């Protein structure tokens, strides 16, 4: 027959040590968690203190005081980054302060007796890196590579914008899914690559935050500054489909490159409520009668496929007919809309 299986008797030494080993392991675990928690608390305190030291706005009227405040902020940020090297907010804040230093350095070169007739705010606006970026795009479009390299080697650019761009790259490494970071990189990518390659960073930002109206406004501005007018209008059209909070700003920017008629035909998206809003608001004066006629035709063309109920369609059609000088059709549609929804 089979031999009975004997259970192995634990070694008495092991039985005596097992509770002690478990206790030691638990104690080690608690100590590790305690130390780790302390380190994280210290990191958080250093981070918050550094971000709190970042000035909200730069006051160009007192450049020396602003420069001193920025230096202090950068010192705090650098110490915090040494502890939290993968913190995207710290790198973004550092990039912003390096950019502010660039603007102050450039302002010092613009502040001359010949510039006394220009308002301080106008001078400060001229220091925005967007003007440098636009110049880089113009040079690239004309194939002037030597002049583009000269622009990149300007002392204020090398000393201040190059470190700013380095922090943006570090921010991207820390958080590659941040649309804000990709937008900031698009603003300064001309420092290290063909300015026209900024579309890569713009597309990444758009894919990451397609439901943000602010993003579409900014990418449209980037395209506009790069001379890509059609692309800018396309971005703003998408943004207006997401939300209309930037409508006035977008119309003002577009009107610097085209007239109301072209805007009515090409910029505004296929949205009956939006087209009516623009026709009753921004383009409501007598001088805009031809523009409203265009808007009316567009409304009529998109209503059949619009996701609106019958009362809404009749209401918008009544307005569109009025703008096309069809009084009888307008009255009939508006009366029908009231009958459907008293």
Task: Write the pLDDT tens digit of every residue in 30-71.
Answer: 666 555 555 556 677 888 888 888 888 887 778 888 899 999
pLDDT at 54: 86
Token reading at 200: 């890569």
pLDDT at 113: 56
pLDDT at 61: 78
Q: Which residues of the chain fall short of a pLDDT of 50?
A: none
Cβ atoms of residues 242 and 216 within 8 Å: yes
pLDDT at 119: 82
- Tell me, rounded to whole angstroms, the distance of Cα 178 from its chain centroid: 10
Q: Which of 330, 340, 278 is nearest to 309 (CA)?
A: 340
Q: Which of 72, 61, 126, 134 is nearest to 97 (CA)?
A: 72
pLDDT at 118: 77
pLDDT at 110: 83
Give the contacts of 12 (CB within 8 A, at least 6 positions apart): none
pLDDT at 111: 67
pLDDT at 64: 87
pLDDT at 267: 96
Task: Write the pLDDT tens digit of every residue in 286-300.
Answer: 999 999 999 999 999
Q: How far is Cα 41 from Cα 38, in angstroms, rounded to an integer? A: 5
């Amino acid at each position: 027959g089979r031999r009975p299986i004997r259970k192995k008797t634990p070694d008495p030494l092991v039985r005596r040590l097992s509770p002690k080993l478990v206790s030691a392991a638990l104690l080690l675990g608690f100590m590790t968690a305690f130390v780790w928690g302390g380190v994280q608390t210290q990191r958080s305190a250093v981070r918050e203190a550094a971000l709190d030291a970042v000035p909200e706005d730069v006051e160009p009227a007192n450049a020396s005081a602003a420069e001193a405040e920025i230096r202090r902020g950068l010192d705090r940020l650098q110490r915090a980054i040494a502890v939290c090297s993968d913190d995207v907010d710290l790198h973004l804040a550092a990039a912003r302060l390096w950019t502010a230093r660039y603007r102050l350095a450039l302002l010092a070169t613009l502040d001359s007796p010949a510039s006394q007739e220009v308002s301080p705010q106008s001078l400060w606006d001229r220091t925005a890196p967007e003007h440098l970026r636009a110049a880089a795009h113009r040079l690239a479009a004309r194939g002037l590579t030597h002049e583009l390299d000269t622009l990149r080697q300007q002392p204020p650019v090398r000393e201040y914008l190059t470190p700013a761009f380095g922090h943006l790259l570090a921010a991207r490494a820390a958080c590659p899914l941040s649309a804000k970071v990709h937008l900031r990189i698009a603003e300064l990518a001309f420092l290290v690559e063909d300015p026209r390659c900024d579309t890569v960073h713009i597309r990444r930002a758009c894919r990451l935050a397609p439901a943000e109206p602010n993003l579409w406004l900014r990418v449209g501005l980037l395209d506009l500054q790069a001379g890509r007018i059609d692309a800018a209008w396309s971005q703003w059209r998408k943004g207006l489909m997401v939300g209309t909070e930037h409508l006035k700003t977008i119309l003002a920017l577009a009107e610097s490159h085209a007239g109301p008629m072209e805007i009515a035909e090409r910029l505004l998206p296929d949205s009956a409520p939006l087209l009516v809003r623009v026709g009753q608001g921004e383009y409501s004066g007598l001088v805009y009668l031809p523009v409203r006629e265009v808007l009316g035709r567009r409304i009529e063309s998109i209503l059949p496929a619009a996701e609106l109920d019958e009362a809404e369609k009749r209401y918008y059609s009544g307005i569109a007919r009025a703008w096309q000088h069809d009084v009888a059709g307008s009255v009939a549609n508006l009366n029908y809309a009231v009958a459907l929804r008293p």
